[in-house]
Structure 1
Amino acid sequence: MRVTVWNENRHEQKNPVVRDIYPRGIHGAIAEFLQSEGIHTRTATLDEPDHGLTDEVLANTDVLVWWGHLAHGEVTDEIVQKVQQCVLDGMGLIVLHSGHFSKIFKTLMGTSCDLKWREADEKERLWVVSPSHLITEGITEYIELDKEEMYGEHFDIPQPDELIFTSWFEGGEVFRSGITYNRGNGKVFYFRPGHETYPTYHNKQIQRVIINAVKWAQPVKRERPVYGNAKPLEEIKGGQI
């Protein structure tokens, strides 16, 4: 399995707090724990040519992990369309935290993907609501984070195919924090936690969820269905072709 971890890599350049938490960038931190599981992992960032997502890179990516926040609008529509086609053709996509507002996620969802939010250093408790799912393997009943950014309902997304985690926040809000979709031949998982000024991606259970999600999202080896005008498989008696 070949994984590409994409990150706009802007907070790390501008905010020393983020740089101290993730000296190799958020993408570097995620790539490191994926590699520790024996998963072949590369990274790509916004300011590289083609945002690091060249045709060659995409052709050699089974699962794409996406983190973005400050610069969603700087991702070119051409790259978004290429990534979308890769997902439809079978590539897995893991969208993290503020990636809910990324062009690629909004394109695949077809909605605003808007939500409530607040930065108040509050506790988050992510409850496992699908305990038999591969993504929750090795996870306890809930994951507790001492400090995180709040995301609250209503989350303007299509009805998920599966609900994996539901979050409760200290301020009282709840949120659908782990959801899956099928798009074409591809699988999509959105996972909420991961605000840049908190060490969320150093949490072992958060790491385990992402590792599990990458394994869950890897492509199924099959061709896409054939669409359009179709010749009959059997003779149509009295019909006209």
Structure 2
Amino acid sequence: MVKVTVWNEYRHERKNPVVREIYPNGIHGAIAGFLTEAGFEARTATLDEPEHGLTDEVLNDTEVLIWWGHLAHEEVKDEVVQKVKRRVLDGMGLIVLHSGHFSKIFKELMGTGCDLKWREADEKERLWVVAPGHPIAEGIGEYIELEKEEMYGEFFDIPAPDELVFTSWFEGGEVFRSGCAYTRGNGKVFYFRPGHETYPTYHHKDIQRVLVNAVKWARSVARRRPVYGNVKPLEPIKVKA
């Protein structure tokens, strides 16, 4: 059973009644709920918990970390970001959602500003599957259509993805790289664009299916980690005259 931690800053739900109505148990609670139904062992963590809920014990027991943040990126402590980064490089999967593109951990792993265009106009989003053979797209048709979402537009200031799984088109005309897969060290990272807090995006069955697939894809690989640093030779080295 894959062990998943769903992290959310949990601010919108407590400040905005519209968000609270859509996600009465928080965005983290909604995501953890359908992941549990899918057979994963899902726990949650939030910004205002000690160590943001990401203690060494929690991180060491997490195979895949899901991250949703927006209002309070700068409140995330740098030492926690570095702990998460070390775990990703050691093999923990990381799935970054929506406005998490500006999170400290995503920018740290990407090495770029991760900026983009945006607009809130209740417009249609169509996420086209551009890698139909990718495991994250399993069970999804040619596209996912969301009746209303926030627009994100190019240029998206990220490194070129190792694999691009989804590209979005918006009613206003913009396009966006919405499903970006990376390898960082021994770990896998997936950025998935949809999920603005005032829309019921995480109740959409296809969006849930993508996240279930992404957890399976990003899970830790059971193998011995590479050895770094100074090592002894595998074979005798003959001294040359």
Matched position secondary structure for 2:152: strand
What CA distance in whole angstroms lies between the structure 2 residues aligned with 1:6 and 1:239? 57
What CA distance in whole angstroms lies between the structure 2 residues aligned with 1:99 and 1:57? 20
C-alpha deviation, 1:23, in angstroms = 0.4
Partner residue in 2 for 1:197: 198
C-alpha deviation, 1:231, in angstroms = 2.8
Q: After superposition, where does 1:132-143 map in structure 2 within 5 Å?
A: 132-143=133-144
Partner residue in 2 for 1:147: 148
Matched position secondary structure for 1:12: helix
Q: After superposition, where does 1:155-234 map in structure 2 within 5 Å?
A: 155-234=156-235
Partner residue in 2 for 1:83: 84
Residues 171-219 of structure 1 deviation map (CA, whole Å, 9 limit, x = unaligned) = 1110000010001111000000000000000000000000000011100
Matched position secondary structure for 1:211: helix
The RMSD of aligned alpha carbons is 1.1
What CA distance in whole angstroms lies between the structure 2 residues aligned with 1:6 and 1:38? 19
Letter in 1 for 2:24: P
C-alpha deviation, 1:239, in angstroms = 4.9
What CA distance in whole angstroms lies between the structure 1 residues aligned with 2:232 and 2:153? 49
What CA distance in whole angstroms lies between the structure 2 residues aligned with 1:189 and 1:20? 28
Shift of the 217–238 alpha-carbon distance from structure 1 to 2, 3 Å rule, reads same
What CA distance in whole angstroms lies between the structure 2 residues aligned with 1:228 and 1:239? 25
Matched position secondary structure for 1:85: helix
Runs of 4+ in 1 over 3 A off after TM superposition: none
Question: Are 1:41 and 2:42 an aligned pair?
Answer: yes
What CA distance in whole angstroms lies between the structure 1 residues aligned with 2:230 and 2:115? 38
What CA distance in whole angstroms lies between the structure 2 residues aligned with 1:156 and 1:29? 29
Gaps of 5+ in 2: none
Partner residue in 1 for 2:112: 111
Partner residue in 1 for 2:4: 3
TM-score under structure 1 normalisation?
A: 0.97
What CA distance in whole angstroms lies between the structure 1 residues aligned with 2:61 and 2:212? 19
Question: Are 1:97 and 2:94 an aligned pair?
Answer: no
Aligned length in residues: 240
What CA distance in whole angstroms lies between the structure 1 residues aligned with 2:60 and 2:141? 36
What CA distance in whole angstroms lies between the structure 1 residues aligned with 2:113 and 2:232? 39
Shift of the 239–6 alpha-carbon distance from structure 1 to 2, 3 Å rule, reads farther
What CA distance in whole angstroms lies between the structure 2 residues aligned with 1:54 and 1:239? 52
Matched position secondary structure for 1:231: coil
What CA distance in whole angstroms lies between the structure 1 residues aligned with 2:92 and 2:240? 40
Residues 22-64 of structure 1 deviation map (CA, whole Å, 9 limit, x = unaligned) = 0000000001100111111000000000101111111111100
Matched position secondary structure for 1:189: strand
C-alpha deviation, 1:89, in angstroms = 0.7
Letter in 2 for 1:22: Y
Gaps of 5+ in 1: none
What CA distance in whole angstroms lies between the structure 2 residues aligned with 1:34 and 1:45? 17
TM-score under structure 2 normalisation?
A: 0.97
What CA distance in whole angstroms lies between the structure 2 residues aligned with 1:238 and 1:60? 47
What CA distance in whole angstroms lies between the structure 1 residues aligned with 2:230 and 2:64? 32
Matched position secondary structure for 2:147: strand
